Amino acid sequence: QSVLTQPPSVSGAAGQRVTISCTGSRSNIGAGYDVHWYQQVPGTAPKLLIYGNSARPSGVPDRFSGSKSGTSASLAITGLQAEDEADYYCQSYDSNLSGGVFGGGTKLTVL
Amino acid sequence: EVQLVQSGAEVKKPGESLRISCQGSGYSFTGYWIGWVRQMPGKGLEWMGIIDPSDSETRYSPSFQGQVTMSIDQSISTAYLQWDSLKASDTAMYHCARLGTASRHHLDFWGQGTLVTVSS
SS3 assignment, position B5: strand
Contact criterion met (CB < 8 Å) for A34 and B103: yes
**Maximum C-alpha span of chain B:** 44
| pLDDT at res. B104 | 79
Beta strands in chain A (DSSP E): 9-12, 18-23, 36-40, 47-50, 64-69, 72-77, 86-94, 99-102, 106-110
The pLDDT value given to residue A104: 97
Tally Cβ neighbours within 10 Å of residue B119. Answer: 10
Contact present, A48 and A56 (Cβ < 8 Å) = no
Residues 6 or more apart in contact with residue B90 via CB below 8 angstroms = B83, B116, B118
The distance of B88 to chain A (nearest Cα, Å) reads 21
The answer to whether A36 contacts B50, with C-beta atoms less than 8 Å apart, is no
Question: Sign (positive/negative) of CA torsion B46, B114, A52, A14?
Answer: negative
Eight-class DSSP state of A103: B
Give which of A3, A6, A2 is closest to A74, Cα–Cα.
A6
Mean pLDDT score, B19-40: 98
pLDDT in tens, B69-108: 999 999 999 999 999 999 999 999 999 999 998 777 899 9
Residue type, B58: T
**Residue A53 backbone dihedrals phi, psi, to 5 degrees:** 75, -40
Residue-wise pLDDT for A43-53, tens only, equals: 999 999 999 99
Cβ-nearest to B103 among A46, A52, A97: A52
What is the number of CB-based contacts under 8 A between chain A and chain B? 80
